[in-house]
Amino acid sequence: MNISKLQITINKKKLVDIAFNITSSLALVGQSGSGKSLTIKALLGMLPESMEVKLEYENSFKLTAGETLAFVPQNPFTALSPLTKIKRQFFIPLPKIQKLFAQVGLDIELLERFPPELSGGQLQRVVIAMALSSEPELILLDEPTTALDPKTRTVILNLLKALQNEFGFKMLFVTHDMNSAKIVCEDICIIKEGRVVESGKMEDILQNPVAEYTKILMDANFANREFRI
Ligand SMILES: Nc1ncnc2c1ncn2[C@@H]1O[C@H](COP(=O)(O)OP(=O)(O)OP(=O)(O)O)[C@@H](O)[C@H]1O
């Protein structure tokens, strides 16, 4: 899908002015304040009325939150209602939930538990199953693994890729972390202060970054790497 224009303005200040293409999986990468969250909220139609949004896209389906569009948030620990059993947090019949649980690699016995009784990795699998339950065309992921330990992070990122192969949805993966982005996404779009700095195939950009900002982001990720493993 081609987002030919996304502009977000508040009090005449243009916070975001970008365009991008999601062929299969696109990583939208930028540092804090670059406009990642605003972009996701704009696509979900969830920005406050004080913000003016201009969204133009060409696509075979309309972007509708909860229908064609699903969302996986950053922190699975706060994404679920803590005192409601997992099985009650889905709005689809039980056999369908059980099938989804098998697809995301969860034991169906966990359906009887409360969220605080699950690990971070298990909770994120539940949240991913929830996202899949509406059979979305596009899944928006907002730093979906930053709350997880490094080993679980890699497992979840690989799971997302495998699920994409199975279900065929598209992904917009928002992150500041190039190492995560490169595991999941074929394409990358780097943003800074609400503007596109560089975009293209992940492999090409990682091997041959042109913009100085891209190099800085890559260096920052490389420097953090030893620390994070
Ligand atoms: N309600 C608002 N009013 C004014 N400016 C805002 C508002 N919300 C966000 N901004 C500004 O828009 C810019 C982009 O914010 P956004 O939250 O999208 O960044 P981000 O890339 O998601 O950062 P982070 O990684 O820290 O979540 C920032 O400069 C932010 O201060």
**Domains in the chain and their CATH numbers?**
2-224 (3.40.50.300)
Protein residue with least CA distance to atom 25, ligand 1: 32
Angle at 38 between CA 57 and CA 81, to 5 degrees: 110
Q: Please give the Cα distance from 9 to 7 (Å, whole number).
A: 6
pLDDT-above-90 percentage for the chain: 89
β strands within the chain, DSSP E: 2-10, 13-21, 25-29, 52-58, 69-72, 138-142, 170-175, 187-192, 195-201
Tell how far the Cα of 33 is from the centroid of ligand 1, in angstroms: 5
The closest-lying atom of ligand 1 relative to the alpha carbon of residue 191 is 21
Residue 188 clears pLDDT 80, i.e. is over it: yes
| pLDDT band per the 50, 70, 90 thresholds, residue 229 | very low
204-212: long-range pairs with CB below 8 Å, 24+: 206/178, 206/182
For ligand 1, mutation pick of 7, 10, 175 (most atoms within 8 Å of CB): 10
Going from the Cα of 34 to the center of ligand 1, the distance in angstroms, rounded, reads 7
The residue whose CB lies within 8 Å of the most ligand 1 atoms, and thus the one to mutate among 9, 36, 141, 192, is 36
Mean of the pLDDT values across residues 79-87? Answer: 96
Q: Is pLDDT of 132 > 50?
A: yes
Q: How far is CA 1 from CA 95, 171, 196, in A?
A: 32, 11, 17
pLDDT score recorded for residue 154: 94
Does 182 score more than 50 pLDDT? yes
**DSSP single-letter state for residue 98:** H
Which residue's CA is the nearest one to ligand 1's atom 14? 35
Q: Per-residue pLDDT tens for 85-128? A: 999 999 999 999 999 999 999 999 999 999 999 999 999 999 99
* Alpha-carbon torsion angle 35, 209, 141, 166, nearest 10: 160
Q: What is the pLDDT of residues 5-62, one digit of tens each?
A: 999 999 999 999 999 999 999 999 999 999 999 999 999 999 999 999 999 998 888 9
The pTM for the full model equals: 0.93
- Ligand 1 pocket, Cβ-based, cut-off 6 angstroms: 10, 15, 30, 32-38, 176
124 C-alpha to center of ligand 1: Å?
A: 25
Distance 212 CA to ligand 1 centre (A): 22
